[in-house]
Amino acid sequence: MIEAGRVSVNGVVIDSPALNVTGRDKLSVDDKPVEAAEPARLWLYHKPLGLVTTERDEQGRKTVFETLPDELPRVVSVGRLDINSEGLLLLTNDGGIKRKLELPSTGWLRKYRVRVKGAPDDDQIAPLRKGIEVEGVRFQPMTVSIDRIQGANAWLTVSIREGKNREVRRAAQAVGLTVNRLIRVSYGPFQLGQLKPGEVSEIKGRVLRDQLGMASPAAADAADPSKSLGKRRGPTSKEVLRSRKVGRRPPR
């Protein structure tokens, strides 16, 4: 943006990022004042069955972002749940939080309630507890408990730390178990709780900072406004989707 001459400080177009900017300076992009940075936020969302976790779907299937409340700002998901999975999906307006929570090094436990066809015993699920390789992909050891046998099905609780693509389903299939229902009930310290399908609940800022061990992004941007250049308040997820459908740019 700077090289294109779109950024100005106190009315003067700048050509280099090597400039000290304080809270008293006025920043503009394309002659529009840079608004205060929107604080980093995180929401719990109970994803229902039948939705894909993407902004656009080539097959025309309904997406998570089409069903979100209108008042929600533009958000991205932390990881994904496939169309046949349900339960806790974290949403955030901050790319840094998304990256932090998705990193394997974070090591946060993802816990699932899993219904499988049949009546598995400890011998059958032992490979999952030890770690298993499926089609050249190595899955780390899982914590698996057999909760109850119910008719032709069994309910398991499965906990993983990596969250590779369809990990639980693929690993279960490898030991002869077909998953016919999968519900994520927690992601690290964040719980699905009593949230109903389709409902959204925001995590309080203090809890967010405590759990992620991070300072308030709003405070950091206030001290250094140049950091807010890419974080101006933007359109909601639904506004972005509507604009794409009609071929217009989303509102700024």
Cα(164)–Cα(138) distance, rounded to whole angstroms? Answer: 10
Report how far apart, in Å, the C-alpha atoms of 225 and of each of 7, 15, 18, 103, 137 are: 13, 17, 14, 28, 44
Is 94 catalytic? The answer is: no
What tokens does 168 get? 């639980």
* Residue given tokens 């009546």 in the structure block: 119
Say if CB 71 and CB 224 are below 8 A apart: no
The pTM score is 0.75
What's the mean pLDDT when you consider all of the chain? 85
pLDDT, one tens digit per residue, over 76-126 is 999 999 999 999 999 999 999 999 898 877 888 999 999 999 999 999 999
Cα(205)–Cα(201) distance, rounded to whole angstroms? Answer: 12
User: What are the residue ranges spanned by the domains of the chain?
Assistant: 38-107+189-213+233-252, 109-187
Q: Which residue out of 30, 82, 121, 123 is catalytically annotated? A: 82
Say if CB 50 and CB 200 are below 8 A apart: no
Percent of all residues in the chain with a pLDDT value above 90, rounded to a whole number: 56
Task: Specify the DSSP class assigned to residue 72.
Answer: S
Say if CB 142 and CB 159 are below 8 A apart: yes
**How many alpha carbons fall within 13 Å on the CB side of residue 18?**
1
Mean pLDDT check: name the lowest of 17-21, 26-30, 61-65. Answer: 17-21
pLDDT at 162 over 90: no
What tokens does 162 get? 């990596």
Does the fold of domain 109-187 match that of domain 38-107+189-213+233-252? yes
User: What is the dotted CATH code of the domain comprising 38-107+189-213+233-252?
Assistant: 3.30.70.580
pLDDT, one tens digit per residue, over 59-73 is 999 999 999 999 999
Report how far apart, in Å, the C-alpha atoms of 6 and of each of 23, 231, 249 are: 20, 16, 18
User: What is the dotted CATH code of the domain comprising 109-187?
Assistant: 3.30.70.1560
φ and ψ at residue 115, rounded to 5 degrees:
-105, 130
* Amino acid sitting at position 194: Q
* Amino acid sitting at position 220: A
pLDDT at 179 over 50: yes
